[in-house]
């Protein structure tokens, strides 16, 4: 009997821009030492689980790739691939802007200037489906980014997912991934 395999999303470790509450988006900001330690800690936690992991993939941005390499080093897994669809939500000219102290409408204006949330969620879902198709029945760790994870999981579960902390592990419900594929297939077939 074929088992569907597990997919778990992990946000990359901390960067200096995370500390400064700056929008990183698609800007390639490296991990800091705290972020590297967070990756080692989550790697040890994942290694302690009874069920092992088969595959490790990530976003191509450096902070995600480095997090994946550190986790993989703990688990004895080489990162298998990067997926462009896992890149963080783009905030265009607002990348590098400080969000610290921005409230309400001012904060929303900055965030609204980025890639639309529904586009990010669709891209994230497409990545998860592709990863599952590329690694059928395997248990896969996916290192990506906070907004991408939050928006994708919100779409998957049909409710708002809270902010994702650095190196937080977020399991993906495979039945929810199947349900969103079915829903997308139905809406495509009924489109004019």
Please, what's the b/e burial string for 76-93 (b: 16 or more CB within 10 A of its CB; e: otherwise)? ebebbebbebbbbbbbee
Q: Give me the catalytic one of 12, 38, 115, 145.
A: 12
Which strands make up the sheet holding 7-11, listed edge to edge? 81-82, 55-58, 140-144, 7-11, 169-172
88 is catalytic: yes
94 is catalytic: no
Q: Give me the catalytic one of 38, 66, 85, 88.
A: 88
Measuring CA to CA, how many Å separate 155 from each of 69, 114, 117, 124? 28, 18, 10, 9
Signed CA dihedral, 171, 135, 46, 150: sign only: negative
Contact 149, 124 (CB under 8 A): yes
Catalytic residue numbers read 12, 88
């Amino acid at each position: 009997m074929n088992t569907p395999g597990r997919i778990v999303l992990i946000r990359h470790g901390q960067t200096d821009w995370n500390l400064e509450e700056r929008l990183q988006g698609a800007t390639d900001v490296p991990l800091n030492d705290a972020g590297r330690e967070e990756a080692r800690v989550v790697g040890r936690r994942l290694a302690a689980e009874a069920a092992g992991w088969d595959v490790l993939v990530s976003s191509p941005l450096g902070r995600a790739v480095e997090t994946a390499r550190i986790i993989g080093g703990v688990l004895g897994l080489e990162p298998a691939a990067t997926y462009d669809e896992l890149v963080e939500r783009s905030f265009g000219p607002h990348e590098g802007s400080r969000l610290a102290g921005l409230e309400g409408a001012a904060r929303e204006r900055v965030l609204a200037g980025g890639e639309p949330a529904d586009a990010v969620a669709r891209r994230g879902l497409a990545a998860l489906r592709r990863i599952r198709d590329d690694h059928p029945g395997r248990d896969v760790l996916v290192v990506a980014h906070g907004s991408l994870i939050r928006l994708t999981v919100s779409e998957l579960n049909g409710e708002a997912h809270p902010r994702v902390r650095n190196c937080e592990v977020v399991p993906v419900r495979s039945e929810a991934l199947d349900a969103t594929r079915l829903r997308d297939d139905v809406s495509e077939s009924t489109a004019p």
